[in-house]
Amino acid sequence: MISDDVLISRIPKQVQEKDDPNVLEFQLPSVALCLDWFNENLVYGHDLGITVLSRSPNTQANSYSTEIQKKWEFKKNYFHLGKSVELVRYRDKYVAAVHPTFDITLVDTQSGKLTLLGGSSGHSSYINSVDISINGLVASTGDDRALLIWDDGTPFDFPLGGVGKIVKFWNSADSNIVVVLEAGNKIRVLNYQTKEWMLTIYPGQAGCCGPSTGSVKDIMITDKFLYAIGLGWWKKYDLENIYGGCGFTTPVAEQTFFQKPLSSHLVISNSRFIGLATAKLQLIYDTNKNKLYSLDFNLPDDEITGLTISSTGEAFIIATGNILTLISLI
């Protein structure tokens, strides 16, 4: 671990032209390949490891020209891993950093300890998703059609019927439950302590002959409910009241919050907010208030490589190349 200086923001040219006080750009020393946010800490993966940005507001600083710059000052800690990081997941003091070599480095951001999860008993192809439980377990899934639960460095393999797309622990309801999205719009719920698959959710279409709602892009888990999220829509499920048939599971609620087609997008969610982003349009949907926030900032021309929302919904951060664009919502 290498402690670094404060990450200094700069006002983007287009924001100066719009005179918008709610947007900052941060120039990074390398391209940000992925992002995640936990509490007051933001992490991004790059070509040689990860950098953790810890929010440290400096309201007394006189060197900054705007209030938002004082509010969104970050201190940096760099963790050298020796290879690129294409996915990250941050929880408590741990960061799970996924490499293109089909393995994961679990980083203890307090002690600096690095634990490599991989090898002959690990994944045999690309890892598409990773999560960390409240107990420090790691779950990962990928192109090899495997769901792996890593307990103290040892993987427990749960074979899937299709490519694993998304995996998340259900930390609020039961730390023994993990949810995985398989290719083909199939969401499966596993109790990994009993090694039993509890149920399967099919959110894709209204019955065997009904219209398709499109691919599920993310899974959001709240205290009691599971959300299947697509491009501008969500469906909510209560695991105690699952019913349906013919390849379709009936949700307890659903909504289309944006109907225009999106391209070149990323979709992300936390336990409350859903975010979508393109180079010219950014959307944030608040599931508690049933409210959509539509933004139209012109981002840099580089491909969007990362997207994350703060847990409180205060800010939306988008990575394009070596630029982080922060949009303050409060």
pLDDT tops 70 at residue 59: no
Percentage of the chain beyond pLDDT 90 is 49
pLDDT tops 70 at residue 13: no
| From 36-45, 59-68, 197-206, 290-299, the region with the lowest mean pLDDT | 59-68
- Residues 249 and 200: their CA atoms lie apart, in Å, by 9
CATH number of the structural domain spanning residue 126: 2.130.10.10
- Residues 178 and 47: their CA atoms lie apart, in Å, by 30
| From 10-24, 156-170, 183-197, the region with the lowest mean pLDDT | 10-24
Q: Is the residue at 288 inside a domain?
A: no
Q: Is the residue at 290 inside a domain?
A: no
pLDDT band of residue 5 (cuts 50, 70, 90) is low
- Residues 7 and 103: their CA atoms lie apart, in Å, by 29
User: Cα separations (Å) of 133 from 92, 138, 264?
Assistant: 9, 6, 31
Residue type, 10: R
Q: Is the residue at 315 inside a domain?
A: no
pLDDT tops 70 at residue 303: yes
Q: Which residues constitute the domain of residue 54?
A: 2-13+30-265
pLDDT tops 90 at residue 134: no
204: tokens are: 């894709």
Tell me the pLDDT of the chain averaged across its residues. Answer: 85
Q: Is the residue at 159 inside a domain?
A: yes
CB under 8 Å, gap of 24 or more: what pairs does 71-75 form?
A: 71/328, 72/9, 72/24, 72/315, 72/326, 72/328, 73/6, 73/7, 73/9, 74/6, 74/7, 74/26, 74/42, 75/4, 75/5, 75/6, 75/7
Annotate 196-206 with b (16+ C-beta within 10 A) or e (fewer). eeeeebbbbbe
Q: Is the residue at 246 inside a domain?
A: yes
Degrees to nearest 5, angle at CA 158 with 155 and 159:
125
Q: Is the residue at 289 inside a domain?
A: no
- Give 107-133 pLDDT, tens digit per residue: 999 999 999 999 888 999 999 999 999
Domain count, the chain: 1
List beta partners, residue 151: 154
- Residues 244 and 184: their CA atoms lie apart, in Å, by 17
DSSP assigned state of 93: T
At residue 52, the pLDDT reads 96
